[in-house]
C-alpha cells in the first residue's frame, strides 16, 4: 500500500492532484450544503414536485456530478426511471418526506452517531431505488465522517482489502465505510482527515488506474502487471496534458480576478479577493496585494460570512463597510456555486447593494449561465438584478473604464442583464 499511495500522490492524472487538491473543490461545500437545505425546505412545504428534471435536487446533484473524475455520473442514481418507478421519492409523498427528514437530520447534526442513525432510519424505510449513492450528498455535509460512493470506489475497496462489498445496500456501505476509516487511520500520513482522499485513491484503483502488485514468482501475472503499468504511464502522460490545460484555466480565472481587482481600485473602491485565492501569484506579486486583509465586521457578523469570503471579487464603498459590487468568475466550474454565493450575499446583506451582482464568464458560456438562472430552483435569485459580464467586453473596456469611468455605471453598461431575458 505504501508505494502505491506514494505513486498515487505523485500521479498528475490521479484524483489526488487532479481533484482532491483542486482549489475549486473546497468552494463547492458551502453551496451544496445550501442546496441540500433548499431541497429539505421544498419537501417540507410540498413544493418539491414529482419530477427530477428542473428540481432543486437535480441542480444540487448536477453540481456534484460536474466535479472532476470521482463524481462523474453521480446524478445517474437520482434520475427518474419511469418504467421501474425508481428512485421512489418523486411520486410517493411519504417516501419523499422520509428522504427530506433524512437530509435534514444529516444537515443539522454534527456527530457520527447521529449521521449513522439517520442512515439506518432511511435504510429501514426500504425506499425502492434509493441506495448508498445518497452518500455523495452526505459527503459534502460531513467530509470527515461520510466517504463518497460509486461502483469504482467499491471495486477498489474490494481489490485492496479482499472484501466482497456489494452495490446498492446501505449495510454493505456502512461496513465498507468502517474499513475505509481503518485504512485511513493506518496510512494517515499519505491520506487526510477528509475522506475524499481515501475515496479518491480507491476510485483510481477500482478504475484500473493502478494495478495491484502480484507475486513475482508468477511470470505470466508479472508480465501482465508490467503491461498494465506501461498502460498507466501512457494514460498518465495524456492526462498530464489535460491537467495542464485545467491549470491554464485556473490561470485565466486568476487573470480575470486581477483585472477586476485593478479596475475596482482604479474606480476608487476597496477590494476583497476570495480568501482561498489571495495567495495566488499574479504579475510578480500576489493576487491579494493591495486588497483588504479581512472583511468588515458587519459582514463577518451577518451569518453568511463563510460563503461571502469565498466570492471571487468584492468591491466595497470607500470609507464604508458596504459592498458595492460582487463578481463571481466562472471560467469552467459549476455556475450553480457562483449563483448560490450571490444569493447568500443578497440574503445576508440585503441593504448593501442592488443591481451589482455579476457572473463573469467566457462569451461562449452565456447560454449556460442563462439556463442555470432560468431554472425553477433559482426562482428566488431571479429577483436579483444579476448580470452576465463577458470576458471579451471586460478585456476590451477595462482600461478605458479605469481611466475615464467612475462608480459602477460603466461596468453595468457592458454587462448583460439576466432577469426578464431568455
Tell me the Ramachandran region of residue 303: left when phi exceeds 0, alpha when psi lies from -120 to 50, beta otherwise. Answer: left
Question: Could you count the other beta carbons within 10 Å of the beta carbon of residue 3?
Answer: 8
Farthest-apart Cα atoms in the chain, separation: 77
| Per-position pLDDT tens, the chain of length 422 | 888 899 899 998 899 998 999 877 887 888 889 889 999 999 988 988 888 888 889 988 988 888 777 898 888 889 988 888 899 999 899 999 999 999 999 999 889 989 999 998 999 899 999 999 999 999 999 999 999 999 999 999 988 888 888 888 898 999 999 999 999 999 999 999 999 999 999 999 999 888 776 544 456 655 654 565 466 556 555 655 555 555 544 458 889 999 999 999 999 999 999 988 888 888 888 999 999 999 988 888 888 888 888 899 999 998 888 889 999 998 766 677 778 788 888 888 776 655 588 989 888 888 877 777 776 666 655 567 788 899 989 999 999 999 888 888 889 889 988 765 44
Give, to the nearest 10 degrees, the angle between helix 219-266 and helix 391-404: 30
Q: State how far the alpha carbon of 234 is from the alpha carbons of 5, 222, 239, in Å.
A: 19, 19, 9
Question: Could you count the other beta carbons within 10 Å of the beta carbon of residue 219?
Answer: 9
d(CA 75, CA 59): 10
**pLDDT (0 to 100) of residue 382:** 58
Listing DSSP states for 397-418 in one string gives: HHHHHHHH--TTHHHHHHSEE-
d(CA 285, CA 288): 9
Give, to the nearest 10 degrees, the angle between helix 335-348 and helix 56-65: 130
C-alpha cell at 133: 449513492
**pLDDT (0 to 100) of residue 422:** 42
The pTM assigned to this predicted structure is 0.63
Question: Could you count the other beta carbons within 10 Å of the beta carbon of residue 294?
Answer: 10
Please calculate the CA angle 225-227-231 and round it to the nearest 5 degrees: 115
C-alpha cell at 197: 482522499
Give the E-state strand segments of 192-239 in sequence order. Answer: none
**pLDDT (0 to 100) of residue 352:** 62
Amino acid at each position: 500500500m505504501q508505494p502505491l499511495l506514494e505513486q498515487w500522490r505523485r500521479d498528475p492524472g490521479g484524483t489526488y492532484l487532479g481533484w482532491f487538491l483542486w482549489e475549486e473543490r473546497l468552494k463547492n461545500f458551502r453551496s451544496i450544503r445550501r442546496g441540500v437545505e433548499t431541497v429539505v425546505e421544498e419537501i417540507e412545504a410540498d413544493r418539491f414536485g414529482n419530477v427530477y428534471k428542473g428540481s432543486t435536487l437535480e441542480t444540487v446533484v448536477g453540481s456534484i456530478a460536474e466535479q472532476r473524475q470521482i463524481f462523474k455520473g453521480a446524478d445517474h442514481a437520482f434520475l427518474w426511471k419511469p418504467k421501474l418507478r425508481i428512485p421512489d421519492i418523486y411520486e410517493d409523498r411519504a417516501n419523499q418526506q422520509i428522504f427530506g427528514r433524512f437530509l435534514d437530520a444529516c444537515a443539522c447534526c454534527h456527530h457520527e452517531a447521529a449521521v449513522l442513525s439517520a442512515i439506518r432510519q432511511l435504510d429501514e424505510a426500504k425506499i425502492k431505488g434509493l441506495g448508498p449513492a445518497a452518500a455523495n450528498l452526505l459527503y459534502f455535509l460531513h467530509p470527515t465522517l461520510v466517504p463518497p460512493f460509486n461502483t469504482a470506489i467499491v471495486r477498489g475497496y474490494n481489490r485492496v482489502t479482499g472484501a466482497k462489498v456489494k452495490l446498492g445496500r446501505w449495510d454493505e456501505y456502512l461496513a465498507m465505510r468502517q474499513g475505509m476509516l481503518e485504512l485511513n487511520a493506518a496510512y494517515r500520513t499519505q491520506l487526510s482527515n477528509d475522506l475524499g482522499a481515501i475515496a479518491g485513491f480507491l476510485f483510481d484503483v477500482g478504475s484500473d488506474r493502478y494495478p495491484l502488485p502480484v507475486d513475482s514468482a508468477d511470470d505470466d501475472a508479472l508480465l501482465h502487471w508490467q503491461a498494465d503499468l506501461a498502460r498507466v504511464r501512457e494514460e498518465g502522460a495524456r492526462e498530464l496534458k489535460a491537467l495542464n490545460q485545467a491549470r491554464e484555466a485556473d490561470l485565466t480565472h486568476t487573470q480575470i480576478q486581477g483585472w477586476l481587482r485593478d479596475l475596482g481600485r482604479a474606480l476608487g473602491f476597496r477590494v476583497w479577493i476570495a480568501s482561498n485565492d489571495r495567495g495566488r501569484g499574479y504579475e510578480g506579486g500576489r493576487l491579494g496585494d493591495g486588497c483588504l486583509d479581512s472583511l468588515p465586521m458587519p459582514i463577518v457578523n451577518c451569518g453568511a460570512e463563510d460563503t461571502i469570503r469565498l466570492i471571487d471579487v468584492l468591491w466595497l464603498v470607500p470609507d464604508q463597510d458596504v459592498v458595492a459590487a460582487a463578481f463571481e468568475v466562472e471560467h469552467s466550474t459549476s455556475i450553480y456555486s457562483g449563483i448560490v454565493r450571490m444569493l447568500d450575499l443578497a440574503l445576508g446583506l440585503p441593504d448593501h447593494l442592488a443591481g451589482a451582482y455579476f457572473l463573469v464568464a467566457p462569451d461562449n458560456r452565456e447560454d449556460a449561465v442563462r439556463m442555470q438562472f432560468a431554472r425553477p430552483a433559482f426562482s428566488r435569485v431571479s429577483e436579483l438584478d444579476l448580470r452576465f459580464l463577458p470576458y471579451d467586453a471586460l478585456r476590451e473596456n477595462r482600461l478605458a473604464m479605469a481611466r475615464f469611468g467612475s462608480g459602477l455605471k460603466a461596468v453595468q453598461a457592458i454587462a448583460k442583464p439576466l432577469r426578464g431575458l431568455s
